[in-house]
Amino acid sequence: MMNLEERAYGLRRDIIEEVYRSEAGHVGGDLSVIDILTVLYFKVMNVSPENWTSPDRDRFFLSKGHCVDALYMVLGEKGFFDKQEAIQTFSAFGSRYIGHPNTDVPGIEMNSGSLGHGLALGVGTALAAKMDHRTYRTYVVLGDGEMAEGSNYEAMMAAGHYKLDNLCATVDLNRLQISGTTKEVMCSDDMAEKFRAFGWNVISVEDGNDCGQLLAAYEQAATYTGKPTAVIAHTVKGKGVSFMEDNKSWHHGVMKKEQYEQAVMELEARRAELSDFKNQAEACGEKQARCGKEA
Amino acid sequence: MENKITNRQVICDTLMNAAQTDKNITVVCSDSRGSASLTAFADAYPEQFIEMGIAEQNLVTVSAGLASCGKKVFAASPACFLSTRSYEQVKVDVAYSCSNVTLIGISGGVSYGALGMTHHSCQDIAAFASLPDMRVYLPSDRFQTAELIQALLQDTRPAYVRVSRTASKDIYGENMNFQLDRANVLSQGEDVLLVACGEMVAECLEAVELLAQKGIHAGLLDMYCVKPLDKETLLREAAKTKLVVTVEEHSPYGGLGSLAAQAISEKDPKKIINLSLPDSHMIAGTNREIFAHYGLDGKGIMESVCRILT
């Protein structure tokens, strides 16, 4: 089975293809959030094409909806639709794969796109779960630049007030937004303290591009009772492509051919490395098992 | 005897009645349960009532989230805040996602009178009618309000319902002839056709009587369904006269007058005059005083029609 890191790097490669072909999308944020999406969709959430119409499926809202390019790749990989269709038609005339989440695309819960809406939608679905005594959970992913939107704080307050422990918000804290650093544009320091002040349980993830650290945080969140949980994931914008990393100009930059080729080369090399590492680890594990048996 | 039962009270009664058997009916308020006359609902069905506090943006988006899980949501808040502060939430989360949310705009128009412009909602028709999939209703009395809410309980599409703070004069009675999205013809007359919605229908009824005393025969349409506008009835009745006068408790722009004029001029061009609130900051007073000041009471409407006809 493919490990999460390897899958995330494969999806990064898909994102590069999608945004290069379309000359659209928000590649920097896609690359910072992709590990979060990969862990949620492939390890944490109970949502798939098979249970999509079930009222008990987990709910997901990508509040930083401009990074839907990354979500399309994850949903395609998950089997909601043909990923190639999304890659080929993203942002094209008449395509359903537009630049923000919409329900014409299988696997998307609600039409969205304006920042500052996802958390309140999540409060609604989490409240509905409590009212109906259902056990599904709601996951929302926000951007750190997005946390300047005041509506988020109304939703945080309501989630804390109603002790929505079936709600888990993740802030993709990559410290950059379109005009500069979040610190320069509108200070969003002490994100953890902001959530705590509204009655949330907070888990800080030191490396929000590390699937193992993210998984541990979500496992902890799932068992926490009495408060909603915020996962503050410290990520790197543009993660995985050297010239994009931590560079605000790649918020929605368009790649030249040489840049595209370099990005592909770097991502495929890293993916191969992860795959080799996995194969070696598996071989080593098998050898150890055999040795143990022989002994 | 003058009616003392408000339309918001009727909405509460109708929802309480329905909530007995439909556990998905959910009322959401923004510290507005008292002003929306929904306290009785909150007390009787606490498990179907959600308080969002003074946070109208959250009120609307949370309502959409609830609706996505099968809840039939009625979100009640003063019309002034619903239609401006939460406008983007209505556009994106209710209209764009076609959520099963009915927005109840209480104390609509100039109901809050002397509280001033911050509390007036004279742009709500224009704002909401321009959103795809959004329906806009201004019922004219308590009987029509009850029928409208009953009808909206039967479907799953978004709607905005504006009601006044004060009790509306009775126009209909029990067992009124109500059809969703169909205007009611309240008077037939060949000299002028009045087209009104909400509180203005009662004022127009009075104007019809005053005009009759002067030998002017006025028709009257209760176009409570501002969107979707009942164009069929409108065009049929407009065809009987040379003059159409629309009357609304709204800005002169983008409301019933604009929508009716657009519909008529496309098919049957004729003189259409809109009587509305002014495009300016308004005088302080009760809603009735404000109506009279701007010529939107029965007498003022009658005088305007006479002036136009001469």
What's the complex ipTM?
Answer: 0.94
Q: How far apart are CA B112 and CA B78, in angstroms?
A: 10
Mean pLDDT, chain B, whole residue set: 97
Nearest CA among B93, B125, B150 for reference residue B277 = B125
Angle at B24 between CA B22 and CA B28, to 5 degrees: 120
Q: How confident is the model at residue A26 (pLDDT cuts 50, 70, 90)?
A: very high
Whether the predicted pLDDT of A209 surpasses 80: yes
Amino acid at B158: P
Q: What's the DSSP call for residue B100?
A: S
Mutation site for B-interface testing, chosen from A108, A131, A153 by largest number of B Cβ within 10 Å? A131
Of B55, B65, B70, the CB nearest to A121: B65
Residue B1 pLDDT level (bands cut at 50, 70, 90): confident
Q: Which of A148, A170, A213 is nearest to A67 (CA)?
A: A170
pLDDT at position A262, please? 97
Residues of B in contact with A112 (CB under 8 A): 92-93, 97
User: Cis ω on the peptide bond leading into residue B132 (within 30° of 0)?
Assistant: no
Nearest by CB to B62, which of A109, A113, A120?
A120
How high is the pLDDT of residue A289?
62
A245-292 tens-digit pLDDT: 999 899 888 999 999 999 999 999 999 999 887 777 777 766 666 655
Which of the four pLDDT bands, split at 50, 70 and 90, describes residue B147? very high
Reported as a single tens digit per residue, the pLDDT across A97-150 is: 999 999 999 999 999 989 999 999 999 999 999 999 999 999 999 999 999 999
Secondary structure E strands in chain A: 59-62, 138-143, 167-173, 176-177, 180-181, 201-205, 229-234
Residue A295 has pLDDT above 60, yes or no: no
A154 touches chain B (CB under 8 A): yes
What is the structure's pLDDT at A294?
Answer: 44
Task: Give CA separation, B47 vs A79, B25, B40, B273, B281, in Å.
Answer: 38, 10, 13, 49, 42
Angle (nearest 5°) at CA B220 between B217 and B223: 165
Distance between CA atoms of residues B26 and B269, nearest Å: 45
CB contact under 8 A, B55 and A122: no
User: Assign residue A116 a region: left if phi > 0, alpha if psi is -120 to 50, beta otherwise?
Assistant: left
User: Shortest Cα distance from A112 to chain B (angstroms)?
Assistant: 6
Residue A266 CB coordination number (10 Å)? 19
Are A227 and A163 in contact by the 8 Å Cβ rule? The answer is: yes
- Which distant-in-sequence residues (6+ apart) come within 8 Å of A253 by Cβ? A27, A28, A244
Instruction: Give a three-class secondary structure readout of B132-170.
Output: CCCEEECCCCHHHHHHHHHHHHCCCCCEEEECCCCCCCC
CA dihedral B282, B288, B293, B298 (to 10 degrees): 140
AA identity, residue B111: S
* Chain B residues inside the 8 Å CB shell of A155: 58, 61-62
Residues of A in contact with B71 (CB under 8 A): 128, 131
Using a CB-CB cut-off of 8 Å, the residues of chain A touching B53 are: 154, 157-158, 161
Query: Of B52, B55, B65, which is closest to A125 when you measure between CB atoms?
Result: B65
Asked if pLDDT for residue B273 goes beyond 80, the answer is yes
pLDDT 10s digits, B245-254: 999 999 999 9
| Mean pLDDT, range B21-26, rounded to an integer | 98
- Prediction pTM value: 0.94
Pick from B149, B101, B125, B87: nearest CA to B253: B125
Q: Is the pLDDT of residue B91 over 90?
A: yes
**DSSP state letters, A211-228:** HHHHHHHHHHHHH--SS-
Give yes or no for a contact between A37 and A48, defined as CB atoms under 8 angstroms apart: no
Region B201-226 average pLDDT: 98
Residues B218-242: pLDDT tens digits? 999 999 999 999 999 999 999 999 9
| A285 φ/ψ sector (left φ>0, alpha ψ -120 to 50, else beta) | alpha
Cβ contact, residue pair B62, A155, below 8 Å:
yes
Instruction: Place A181 in a pLDDT band, splitting at 50, 70 and 90.
Output: very high
Residue B302, both tokens: 């009658």
Given this model, what pLDDT does residue A292 score?
52
Examine the pLDDT at A188 and tell me if it is beyond 90. Answer: no
Distance from CA of B61 to the nearest CA of A (A): 6
Q: Is the pLDDT of residue A240 over 50?
A: yes
Asked if residues A214 and A39 have their Cβ atoms less than 8 Å apart, the reply is yes
